Amino acid sequence: MRFVATADWQLGMPGSFLPDEARARFAQARIDVVRRIGEVAAEQQADFVVVAGDVFDSNQLHRSVVARAFDALADWSVPVYLLPGNHDCLDAASIYRSAEFTGAVPDGVQVLDAPGVYPVTSEVELVAAPWFGKRPLTDLVADVLADLPESSGRRRVLVGHGGLLGIDRDDPAAIDLSTLTGALADRRIDVAILGDRHSTTEAADRLWYPGAPEVTRHRETDPGQVLVVDLDERTGGVEVTPVRVGRWTFLTHGAPLNGDADLDDLERDLDRVPDKHLTVVRLTLTGTLTIPQRARLDDLLERAADRFAHIFVWQRRSELAVRGEAADFGELGLTGFAAEAVAELTEELSGPEAEEAADALGLLYRLTGAAEMSR
């Protein structure tokens, strides 16, 4: 018996951190990955797919998100079971109860809209713990395990959503790890699939977070995957194989910058990154540059922004100083007010407004065309 486990599709995620031009690609990627998950399920000859919460990013989405999701799901050859999570909980405004959803849901799509047991095949049943509000006051997984009826002889797959107790001790809905691993140990359930953590994680034996199939932020570890889960009827064993389906990459790149050679290296490193239109780069920059070199860096980043989905400097982790002298502008022949402004800004490089002064001097250097001449 084989199934595919996934979670945290976050369909309709706005991607507000991206430039306008990249947001449409980011939104479409979340629909496209649904199609690829269906293809993986077919290629792997899976019996079904479970989605452990946060199928949708919100209960308040444009109807086109639901319509496009259904278009993608309509191509699937295996049934899929959707668990409401904290983003798309079964509250009064639930997207699962909207006319856009109930009036067009494809065959083979079932919402796990009540806690308890769902027979899936003659060999497997799901144990579901859906969310009914954004802030539950109890551990929903522990609740469903406490009410679990005697085994029917089928293998049991728990499908839940939320963080594990010990990571967020102040959250009453956090899942108690000892309760869950106890249920796994005594075989009340055979495997547990949880959503909420976007990093693919084996939290304990037979306890997995599939992670988000498309990355959503830089701090995620190994996202962009689904899990192919094999249940061995003969031995009772469970084998889990991650399969990559995501196309987007969130990259953090550190670069020490202390001269033109380092800028050359940074330019080459960025040039080597594949699929730039699907890549968000967060730069941590350290070192010291002259004003001409800072102007060259600004120009480099501006040109890179035309190629990448997004590229930015992570200011909190960067320590890039600029040293400058009025002599750096000597070849430009500035006089009068412009020369006085350069002198004042150069003095500010050692003061509290150093970053603003460096930006202004770098911009002036680029506007005069000197940055091009110095390359």
| Structure confidence by residue, pLDDT tens digits, 105-135 | 999 999 999 999 999 998 999 999 999 999 8
At residue 264 the predicted structure's pLDDT band, cuts being 50, 70 and 90, is very high
At residue 345 the predicted structure's pLDDT band, cuts being 50, 70 and 90, is confident
Q: Which amino acid is at 127?
A: V
Average pLDDT over residues 165-179: 79
Q: Which residue has the higher pLDDT, 234 or 312?
A: 312
At residue 69 the predicted structure's pLDDT band, cuts being 50, 70 and 90, is very high
Q: Which ranges of the chain does DSSP label H, i.e. alpha helix?
A: 20-43, 63-73, 99-102, 140-146, 177-185, 260-272, 291-305, 336-348, 354-367, 370-374
Q: Which residue has the higher pLDDT, 331 or 71?
A: 71
Q: How many residues does the structure list for the chain?
A: 375
pLDDT over 80 at 81, yes or no: yes
Average pLDDT over residues 303-312: 97
Work out the angle at residue 43's Cα, subtended by the Cα atoms of residues 104 and 184, and round it to the nearest 5 degrees. 85
- Residues 221, 210: Cα–Cα separation, whole Å: 11
CB 6 within 8 A of CB 210: yes
Question: Containing H/E element for 103?
Answer: none
| 199 HSE (CA, 13 A, CB side) | 11
| 307 HSE (CA, 13 A, CB side) | 14
- Residues above pLDDT 90, as percent of the chain: 75
How is residue 213 written in tokens?
Answer: 């199939």
Residue 95 DSSP class: G
Residue 149 DSSP class: P
Burial call 145-179: b when 16+ CB within 10 Å, e when fewer: beebeeeeebbbbbbbbbbbbeeeeeeebbbebee
DSSP 230-282: EE-TTT--EEEEEEE----EEEEEEEEESSHHHHHHHHHHHHH-S-GGGEEEE
At residue 338 the predicted structure's pLDDT band, cuts being 50, 70 and 90, is low
pLDDT of res. 290: 87
Average pLDDT over residues 19-31: 94
pLDDT of res. 58: 95
- Residues 347, 147: Cα–Cα separation, whole Å: 72
**Beta 48-51 vs 2-6: how paired, if at all?**
parallel
Average pLDDT over residues 281-307: 93
- Residues 209, 211: Cα–Cα separation, whole Å: 5
pLDDT over 70 at 187, yes or no: yes
At residue 373 the predicted structure's pLDDT band, cuts being 50, 70 and 90, is very low
The domain 2-244 is classified under which CATH number: 3.60.21.10, 3.40.50.720, 3.30.470.10, 3.40.50.11610? 3.60.21.10
At residue 368 the predicted structure's pLDDT band, cuts being 50, 70 and 90, is low
Q: Which amino acid is at 51?
A: V
Residue 271 DSSP class: H
Domain borders along the chain are 2-244, 249-374
Average pLDDT over residues 15-41: 95
At residue 171 the predicted structure's pLDDT band, cuts being 50, 70 and 90, is confident
Work out the angle at residue 190's Cα, subtended by the Cα atoms of residues 189 and 194, and round it to the nearest 5 degrees. 80
Contacts 24+ apart (CB under 8 A), 356-360: 357/322, 358/291, 358/294, 358/322, 358/324
pLDDT of res. 324: 64
- Residues above pLDDT 70, as percent of the chain: 90
- Residues 138, 115: Cα–Cα separation, whole Å: 13
**Contacts of 153 by beta carbon, 8 Å cutoff, 6+ apart:** none
Burial call 249-277: b when 16+ CB within 10 Å, e when fewer: bbeeeebebeeeebbeebeeebeebeebe
pTM above 0.75, yes or no: yes
- CA dihedral (333, 335, 341, 347) in degrees, to 10, reads 70
**Contacts of 58 by beta carbon, 8 Å cutoff, 6+ apart:** 12, 87, 88, 95
pLDDT over 90 at 334, yes or no: no
At residue 104 the predicted structure's pLDDT band, cuts being 50, 70 and 90, is very high
Question: Which of 49-53, 137-141, 223-227, 368-372 is least confident?
Answer: 368-372
